[in-house]
Amino acid sequence: MSHNDELVSFQKMNGLGNKILVVDMRGRADKISPEAAINLAADSRTSFDQIMAVHTAADKNISANIHILNSDGSDAEACGNGTRCVVSWLQKISGDSSYIFEIAGGIVRANYSSDLDIEVDMGMPRFDWNDIPLEEEFADTRTIELQIGPIDDPILHTPSAANIGNPHAIFWVKDDVWNYDLGRFGPMLENHPIFPERANISLANVTSPSSLILRTWERGAGLTKACGSAACAAAVCASRTERTGRKVCVTVPGGDLEIEWKPDNNILMRGPAEYEFSGMLDPLTGNWVEGSKDQ
């Protein structure tokens, strides 16, 4: 274990069951190492889907710069559920209700009403094949040629593709999303050559013009109870393929997210954030000690 003056505080949180570690790296020049992330993910207490490492932003108009890591130590460009957790944590410190974050995927704005109602503006979706990105050109990414299973009777086929700060493929199914072995298909599809930067893989069942059910294999993290950017991708792709309107309740294994694809093309996501416990950790090794159980 490093000396205490080298440790940083963290909050174990979740957004609809999406396991998040919010780590306070403000005022520090170093970053959380991939090795630390892998070690933290392997510990049952600190296992996570994403780490949200909160750094001081160079621009004073930006609330924070957030470095996002997946549980395999790789970087992520966006995490909507994790952003809500950061907002919940910062709100307890600052009392502010509005935030602007800089992430790898761009600028994200968020507003806090309560821990049960945090709104994140996820920005504009991108649909051009080279923006997603895809390895080959598709004139229309509402459907792309990709399937799993026999050619004449595929199990999953022709997904919609989009970039919501990170790449997503949405497979539309007409039955229960739990009827599919996403734990088996997910890794194959995530790493399919058509996705040069890998992709988040989701199964979506549209249940009404304003609702759908979603399961996601998250790139670099695996099966998760919730993926905010995937919920946004599913909602906009459902609207784009005329399966739903532009305001959709997306039910993920952890609960419901309200997604609205606004006329200005930005995507608003609303949902909760929940605190679990806090502690101190070494950003180089991932060694940690538990702190207070109170936020």
Known catalytic membership, residue 85: no
Q: Which residues of 13-51 are buried (b: 16+ CB within 10 A; e: fewer)?
A: bbbbebbbbbbbbeeeeebbbeebbbbbbeeeebebbbb
Q: How confident is the model at residue 295 (pLDDT cuts 50, 70, 90)?
A: low
Domain 4-123+273-290 annotated CATH 3.10.310.10: yes
- Per-residue pLDDT tens for 154-195? 999 999 999 999 999 999 999 999 999 999 999 999 999 999
DSSP string, 236-293: HHHHHTTSS-SEEEEEETTEEEEEEE-TTS-EEEEE--EEEEEEEE-TTT--EEE--S
Rounded mean pLDDT of 139-148?
Answer: 96
Sign of the torsion formed by the C-alpha atoms of 100, 227, 86 and 73: negative
Q: So where are the chain's domains?
A: 4-123+273-290, 147-265
Q: How confident is the model at residue 294 (pLDDT cuts 50, 70, 90)?
A: low
> Which residue intervals of 68-212 are DSSP H helices?
80-94, 182-190
4-123+273-290 against 147-265: fold identical: yes
Taking the C-alpha atoms of residue 139 and residue 141, their distance in angstroms, rounded to an integer, is: 7
Residue in 85, 227, 232, 237 annotated catalytic:
227
- For the record, the structure tokens of 176 come out as 């229960």
Residue in 79, 85, 232, 237 annotated catalytic:
79
Exposed/middle/buried for 223, CB within 10 Å: 0-12, 13-18, 19+? middle
DSSP string, 60-109: TTSSEEEEEEETTS-EES--HHHHHHHHHHHHHHH--SEEEEEETTEEEE
Q: How confident is the model at residue 293 (pLDDT cuts 50, 70, 90)?
A: low
List all residues 6 or more positions away from 163 whose beta carbon is below 8 Å from its beta carbon: 125, 126, 127, 131, 132, 133
- Per-residue pLDDT tens for 239-274? 999 999 999 999 999 999 999 999 999 999 999 999
Is residue 50 a contact partner of residue 14, using CB atoms and an 8 Å limit? no
Known catalytic membership, residue 79: yes
Please state the CATH superfamily assignment of the domain spanning residues 147-265 in this structure: Diaminopimelate Epimerase; Chain A, domain 1 (3.10.310.10)
- Per-residue pLDDT tens for 45-76? 999 999 999 999 999 999 999 999 999 999 99
Q: How confident is the model at residue 128 (pLDDT cuts 50, 70, 90)?
A: very high
Taking the C-alpha atoms of residue 204 and residue 64, their distance in angstroms, rounded to an integer, is: 33
Share of the chain above pLDDT 70, in %: 97
Q: What is the pLDDT of residue 3?
A: 42
Taking the C-alpha atoms of residue 203 and residue 20, their distance in angstroms, rounded to an integer, is: 22
Q: How many other β-carbons are positioned within 10 Å of the β-carbon of residue 56?
A: 13
Q: What is the pLDDT of residue 291?
A: 86
pLDDT reading at 127 higher than 50? yes
Rounded mean pLDDT of 197-226?
Answer: 96
Taking the C-alpha atoms of residue 288 and residue 260, their distance in angstroms, rounded to an integer, is: 39
- Per-residue pLDDT tens for 9-26? 999 999 999 999 999 999
